[in-house]
Amino acid sequence: MIDVLGALMGIDMQGFSRPEGSDDLPPGVAPETSSKPTSPPPRQTPTTQTPTPPPPKPTPPKPAKVEEDVEMEDDEDDEEVKARKEAEAEKKLGSEAYKKRDFETAAAHFSKAWDAWPKDLTFLTNLGGRRIYPVMLRAVLTADFRSRLL
């Protein structure tokens, strides 16, 4: 299967099994013929003792045109900035509630944050984590309780 994929991609997979430095070609590949260069060798010109002129001094670059500063327009308008700040505040409140293990309050804050700014998936993943953690906690406590009974 690997050989077939290698053939489709144009890779010689058998090249890995040949000894290093081997000039063997895979079956079906014709050897390349190297052609000799057709251009004549460069002629040597007699050297004369003519002084070469010094290279010209570089001229300093001309100063670039100074364009006026253009104030960039923000892609976000005031409403979006306000919504994002509100969502961040709700996320912070949700995180504090989550640390106190008040999962219902945390879920409410994360939901408000997601409703306010649905472009940030962090709020949604925090909400998902809030829903998974209590289930995992119950499973661990149940397993621990069962292990103590045995």
Write down the pLDDT at residue 60.
75
Write down the pLDDT at residue 67.
66
Q: Which CATH number fits domain 84-149: 1.10.3470, 1.25.40, 1.10.357, 2.40.50?
A: 1.25.40
Domain extents in the chain: 84-149
Low-confidence ranges of the chain (pLDDT < 70): 12-27, 32-42, 44-51, 64-76, 144-150
Write down the pLDDT at residue 30.
72
Distance in angstroms (rounded) separating the CA atoms of residues 102 and 87: 19
18 contact partners, CB below 8 Å, separation of at least 6: 24
pLDDT (tens digit, 9 = 90+) per residue, 10-52?
776 666 666 666 666 666 777 766 555 566 666 766 665 666 7
Distance in angstroms (rounded) separating the CA atoms of residues 115 and 110: 9
pTM comes to: 0.43
Write down the pLDDT at residue 124.
83
Residue 75 DSSP class:
S
